[in-house]
Structure 1
Amino acid sequence: MSFKEKFQTIFSSHSETSEQHGNETLKTRYFKTSKEKALQECLNIVKQNNNFEILSVYEERGEISVQIKSPKKALMVMTVITVQPFRTAIDFSVSTETKLPTDFQYSSKVIEGMYEKLEKALPLVNSR
């Protein structure tokens, strides 16, 4: 990760995953499952957390929007895409509500925590 990327990560209130991300923990993860099972597992994880509130579910687009109520308010969007049969990518985008220019990497930690839970529930293929 370059100095510029590191600086942007530290002084940001938004984090998202991608295939070519400089931070290994924020690279897209691929699971050996169907889109439907991946969406259901994402919903199960969200429902188990009292600090999460589901705002919308668009099954046809593979998108779930979640309001995080505490410890910091944030909006999380989960996107589930089938790239091959039984190879499904799950990406996250988390934006934190803060008056400061940084969320002290809270949004990154939310994504890392979600991936940890998903890796326990679904078979991980790799990060591409």
Structure 2
Amino acid sequence: MGDDVTEFDQISTENLRDSAIELARRRWDLRFFWRLLGLIPAAEAAAGHEEASEASVAQLSGFVYEALSAETDPEVQEALRPFYVQYLREHGETADDVRGDGESGGPGRSTAPGNGTP
């Protein structure tokens, strides 16, 4: 970043924000928006707004949950299955943890031996 940082020092934060968001929109840069959403609660906490930080986490998780719940295409959900499994494994979850007490392994899934379900 070096020299670039001093170049941007003379620009207002509001202008930087607007320019970055507009660039990300033009480039369809979902990663930028995802990263930004992840940083907002931490920035609120750093600014001393602890309650707003907690509210942002709740609001963002609710938004994501609602967006994912709206997706009903079984083919899309199956295409995302490896992503879900990877995330759960990376965080130390097992099939038994996910299955819970008395569950059959999720909708449309049986835990019967030999059916290919982990």
Normalising to structure 1: TM-score of the pair? 0.27
Higher strand proportion (structure 1 or 2): 1
More helix by share: 2
Higher relative CO (Cα under 8 Å, sequence separation at least 6) belongs to: 1
Largest Rg, 1 or 2: 2
TM-score norm. by structure 2 comes to 0.29
